[in-house]
Amino acid sequence: MANKIESVKAVKGMNDFLPADAERWEAFEEIVRDWLRSYGYRPIRTPILENTALFCRGVGEHTDIVEKEMFSFDDRPDSKGNTDNLTMRPEGTAPCVRAVIEHNLLFSQPQRLYYNGPMFRYERPQKGRYRQFHQVGVEALGFAGPDVDAEHIVMCARLWDDLGLDDVTLEINSLGDAAERARHRTELIAYLEAYQDKLDEDAKRRLYTNPLRVLDTKNPDLQAIVDGAPKLMDYLGEESLKHYEGVTALLREAAVPYKLNTRLVRGLDYYNRTVFEWTTTRLGAQATFCAGGRYDSLIEQLGGKAAPACGFAMGMERVMLMWTEGMEDAPMVTPDVYIVHLGELAGRVAFRAAEQLRSAGLSAVYHCGGGSFKSQMKKADASGSAFAIIVGDDEAQAGEVSLKPLRGEGEQRRVSLDALAEELAEMLYGE
């Protein structure tokens, strides 16, 4: 007996989207595109592969993303033997900023941009968290005031309302400016050093490289320690406080409730001043499903002319889990007509009829694969289409088709090929 060939499966943590799920995603993406256009945001698309240096400089060398989660590899050497180290993008802000700098998009005016696509991180796959995941990201570049920060938060609230999501909570904080963070960092390290024997390995690793992230620990044994740590909010100067108060005033104006979380720091080094997270209790341990904030130093850090910026991103898998929870299966996308045929001449006439209908803006499935009229009609009914078009030898020779309603009332009748598109449009859409 011949050895059975083992099938090849998808890579762990990278998922297929079968037709029913893919249709839900397309419906979600359509809602999102309309929402973004209503705020004046325009699309941008960047490559999946970027130079690893972009994320080391932009995200931060001592972040979990760069230290542990990136898919990086050396490219093939060029003719001179030189190689580039490349990374599959783990997030979208740094690539977006890189593109804005490279193509000089801020030369004449600020930019409101958005992107939608796959990101990649080497993580333990779990519900709502995968190695290939998808983000919708929104970036506003060239805007310095608190109004854009507030706009981002309010537009999120509008989307949750449009999607009918409940059980969502907004947490915000201010990380201040570089000098304020530096003063806080010095005192935070001194405070944590006094508890060094009680810190877990992760906190010890971060103590001198990224101590702010210690405040974001999920270890219950460290909660009392971090609760007593110096709060960055107490180190903010006049301008940072004014910016924070400007954001919160606009949130109150828009009636968007929020909670100040002084331990909210985010996991990327480029943030300053406003940071925020939208959380829910419906996703288990993965409570955060959308987050962002201001990153005024990133453009200069990546080689551009200094300019303010802020943005946010949502995990599409997590939002989709919330949006479709308890929802009945989305209706299958169905064609207007299903065309069955039997015989060589009938097949050619049916093929021509299908193209005529598509040219008229109707959707038509032309049966492929042969079979009897009975078996073809079963497939026509299963397609969910409103009508079947039947073409046999008699119809083909007369330049006609038989039009049979598959849903509701109505009799099968013959229609000339030339009048078919007009009659169908009238019956389907009253046009």
Quick one: pLDDT at residue 2? 64
Q: Flag the least confident range among 84-98, 110-124, 307-321, 405-419.
A: 405-419
Provide mean pLDDT across the span 84-97. Answer: 92
Ramachandran sector of residue 90 (left: φ over 0; alpha: ψ -120 to 50; beta: rest): alpha
pLDDT value at position 143? 94
Q: What average pLDDT score do residues 78-101 get?
A: 89
8 A C-beta contact, residue 195 and residue 351: no
Span of 93-97, 155-159, 226-230, 290-294 with lowest mean pLDDT: 226-230
Between CA 152 and CA 145 the distance in angstroms is 12
Neighbouring C-alpha atoms within 13 Å toward the C-beta of 41: 25
Query: What is the pLDDT confidence band of residue 140, given thresholds at 50, 70 and 90?
Result: very high
How many separate helices (H) and strands (E) can be counted in the chain?
Answer: 15, 16
Torsions phi, psi for 398 (to 5 deg): -90, -5
Length, in residues, of the chain = 431
Q: What is the mean pLDDT of the segment spanning 116-131?
A: 83
Is the confidence at residue 277, as pLDDT, over 90?
yes
Examine the pLDDT at 142 and tell me if it is beyond 80.
Answer: yes
Q: Name which of 28-42, 119-133, 306-320 the model is least confident about.
A: 119-133
Q: Is the pLDDT of residue 1 over 60?
A: no
Residue 328 has pLDDT above 60, yes or no: no
Q: What per-residue confidence (pLDDT) applies to 11?
A: 86
Q: What is the mean pLDDT of residues 170-185?
A: 89
| Strand ranges inside 184-301, DSSP E | 259-260, 272-280, 288-294
Q: Is the pLDDT of residue 44 over 90?
A: yes
Alpha helices in 194-343 (DSSP H): 201-206, 223-227, 238-253, 298-301, 316-324
What are the structure tokens assigned to 30, written together?
């359509």
Pair 191, 238: CB distance under 8 Å:
no
Q: What span, in angstroms and rounded, lies between the C-alpha atoms of 37 and 30?
A: 11
Are β-strands 111-120 and 132-141 bridged in parallel, bridged antiparallel, or unpaired?
Answer: antiparallel
Alpha-carbon dihedral 263, 268, 274, 277, rounded to 10 degrees: -60
Q: How confident is the model at residue 63 (pLDDT cuts 50, 70, 90)?
A: confident
The dihedrals phi and psi of 100, each to the nearest 5 degrees, come to -65, -40
pLDDT score for 200: 82
Instruction: Give 334's pLDDT tier (boundaries 50, 70, 90).
Output: confident
Give residue 411's pLDDT.
86
- Residue 198: what pLDDT? 80
Which residues, in sequence order, are bridge partners of residue 86?
A: 51, 73
Instruction: Give the model's confidence band at 38: pLDDT under 50 very low, under 70 low, under 90 confident, else very high.
Output: very high
Q: Of the given ranges (326-330, 389-393, 400-404), which has the lowest mean pLDDT?
A: 326-330
pLDDT-derived band at 148, boundaries 50, 70, 90: very high
Looking at residue 431, its pLDDT comes to: 54
The pLDDT assigned to 206 comes to 79
Please list, residue by residue across 214-227, b when 16 or more beta carbons sit within 10 angstroms of its beta carbon and e when fewer do: bbebeeeebeebbe
Percentage of the chain modeled with pLDDT above 90: 43
- On average, the pLDDT of the chain sits at 87
- Does the structure show a pLDDT above 80 at 7? yes
Q: pLDDT band at residue 43, thresholds of 50, 70 and 90? A: very high
The H or E element that residue 146 is part of is helix 146-163
The closest alpha carbon to 24, from 334, 335, 333, 330, belongs to 330
The band of 330, judged by pLDDT with boundaries at 50, 70 and 90, is low
Q: Please, which pLDDT band fits residue 327 given cuts at 50, 70 and 90?
A: low
Q: Which domains does the chain have, with CATH numbers?
A: 19-177+237-324 (3.30.930.10), 337-426 (3.40.50.800)
Pick the residue with more confidence: 391 or 125? 391
| Confidence tier at 130 by pLDDT (50, 70, 90) | confident
Residue 267's pLDDT is 61
Strand partners, 171: 259, 277
In tens, the pLDDT along 202-260 reads 788 877 777 877 877 778 878 888 888 888 888 899 999 999 999 999 999 999 999 99
Least confident of 48-52, 195-199, 314-318, 353-357: 195-199
Query: Partners of 259 in the beta sheet?
Result: 171
Q: What is the DSSP letter of 129?
A: B
